[in-house]
Structure 1
Amino acid sequence: MSDSPHSAQTTTPGEGAVRRFLRATEIDPRLLGMVGALLLIWLGFHLYGVWVLGEGSFLTPRNLWNLSVQTASIGIMATGMVLVIITRNIDLSVGSIVGVVGMYTGLLQVEWLPPMMGLGNPMIWVIAVVFGITLGALIGLFHGLLIAYLAIPSFIVTLGGLMMWRGMAFLASSGRTISPVDTTFALLGGGPYGAIGATGSWILCAIACAGIAWAMMRGRAARKLHGFALRPIWAEYVVGGISASVVVIATLVVNAYPWPKGILKDYYAKLGQDVPEGAFIAHGFAYPVIIMVAVVLMMTVLMTRTRFGRYVFAIGGNPEAAALSGINTRAMTVKIFALMGALAGIAAIIASARLNSATNALGDLDELMVIAAAVVGGTSLAGGVGTIYGAIIGALVLVSLQTGMVLIGFGDGSYRKIVIGVALVLAVYLDIVYRKRIK
């Protein structure tokens, strides 16, 4: 069934059912591979816990909720790293940017603003957030200027930034831990109070499902308007149904994770009540996860619906041709690194809020996790290829590996580094194989 002659789907003789399904739904096979790998990792860790440890603790609402919060800061930065790598650059400084932004943001809240504005002033957290994002963007802007206008390789510039900003973070506090941060600011890191609860989560779920339906209808109308081939109606329903199902399942999971008993007791004590029998207050979606989703939507629109995104892919595909076609590649490089810095600033805000402090270890080695997340998610180091959703799945894969190893008793950081290293090399090898097959 179709509503346009352009929507007719031709069938290639001998084509398999799976290939026909993927062609009709336009689902990226690499996306299926990444999702399949993620599900195998989850299932493997859970079954190992059941069979060896006597308890499966991975596929539980508690662990999956914590996993989503832990992925937020890495995922946010990975969306920016996709743009950097697509344009054949690299940014080794993002972890140190997280450290220096987190430190100065902490000092702003703890030592600088309270004497001027008063302790607990409601504007402190707002100023801290704006300051953190701006500082990150300025650092990224500085890197971009050096790379674009002085022709210094991005590897060298950001390697220098990795060391310089980490040193500045240490000097800013003389090695001290700055805590506690503003109480409202701390909510941005998650936790029982840093989430929107069951009702808010279902409202967000309904909005998301409505947004999916609207996007599907708008996309189909746009295709029809421009005379592009339409997907079969059944394929539209399948894609929309899968997308909505993921949102609903995620909502069910986060709403199945209750507040801990101690926090529940404190909450009712503040109300002057005893804890009711069978009291259950769900966490719902945490603020870091909501921020990450907002960033993903913004970056997806930026990459797929704007001239800026088209220029990014053009530069990555052939920098010389892009320059000859009139694209200001230097200005684009500056903008990309400034955006990367701003995203690192957002990650710093989430990380310091989650710890309720700013420490010198904040963001340590995050640059490796972020680059690995982008590459595992399908971004090619050769440039020109990458997706935002792939980077998020890549971040989920890496954080899942780390979390799973802790749960099964391999909490030593050495083991986790080995696994991340193997995953990174394997991802690059698979990218090379894939690129050879499509040539």
Structure 2
Amino acid sequence: MLEQGALIDRDAVWQIKREALELVHEVPLGPGRRAAYDAFREEQGQALEDHATWCALAEAHGADWHRWPDGLRDPRSDRTARARRELAHRVDFHSWLVWLTDTQLTAAQRAAREAGMPVGIVHDLAVGVHPGGADAWAQREYFAAGMSVGAPPDAFNARGQDWGLPPWRPDRLAASGYAPFRALLRGLFRYAGALRVDHVMGLFRLWWVPEGHPPTEGTYVRYDAEAMLAVLVLEASRAGAMVIGEDLGTVEPGVREALRARGVYGTSVLWFERDWEGDRRPLPPRGWRADCLATATTHDLPPTAARLSGEHVDLRDSLGLLTRPPREERAEAAADTAEWRELFLRLGLMEPGASEEAEIRAVHRYLLRTPARMIGVWLPDGVGDRRPQNLPGTWSQYPNWRLPIADARGRPMTLEALTASPRLRALLSTLRQ
């Protein structure tokens, strides 16, 4: 039970939802909804047909298309066409689910705008797709077989990273006029007031890791950044949306300048904003760039409470992710936060001996003093959750994306508890002021 601290079992949740949805699917649509559904299927065309076909085949043969019977691995084969006809009811069911999702996302963005949110929903463009999923099956000619996207060793992860995602083939993208990239963006901008592009440096180059090799043996492969950015900016302009690039980690010279010249915002995380070319101390607020989303943390980093307490080092140590003695890591983390606390005190953002909750509010007061055009709030910071939602460098070692959000005592919170949380309300009040 989630209220007792259990992890989210997404397969079990999907099974329950699927059974309910299957019952609803058997109810005939009224004339108006039937016309809307038929129009949606016609509009989405082959892409929707491919997705729904993969879903139906995955139910019959497993979720990794590489292990399907011969013939079904090719979305254009005669055997796949026969299977699509035989599974027509399941193909329709999964097409219907996509239509429901489309109507709900459209309604959510409309409700956000009507409630006074000038941007509304910010959607996310992941750096890649699942190698066994529908995208890799239906568009396999555009993905590099036997390769995975990752990151070279850096200050955050000395071992490098392998994300297990197949990279785009730049030659095939160019030959297609970037058609699959355009279609992907149009699908996202359909509901978005803004789009966050994960690892935006991937529009310039990606770290390719050969299958069976560690990330340290990868290499950079370049893309036509001029073309990729042109497509991105064009689709954003057509949608009247803004773009936020996650430009964190190893960023080659010229990338941030190229993004800024095209109106693409960057991402600035407080703990990384130091005078790296000078005294290496925390940047004063006026030293920050304006064209960015400023945050205290991200989904790949510790919540602020864990950063301030040093618990993030203990977690990484327990999972064997440290490359230096734990004592050195803890000392460095403590020195880092001490410098930030000193700056917050000097700026009058908090009082000496402030509580953890007051310190987190001070962090966000600091962000408000920067010229950043957008401020991001990580929901766990609002309720005091100390656990990272995702811990890079782990797979089965840590329950990534399975943790229900919890309060400072580790108690899972319902939506009602979140909206009524005095701690969260106090933080948001600080931001409004």
* TM-score between both structures, scaled by the size of structure 2: 0.21
In proportion to residue count, which structure has more helix? 1
In proportion to residue count, which structure has more strand? 2
Structure number with greater CO (CA < 8 Å, separation at least 6) is 1
* TM-score between both structures, scaled by the size of structure 1: 0.21
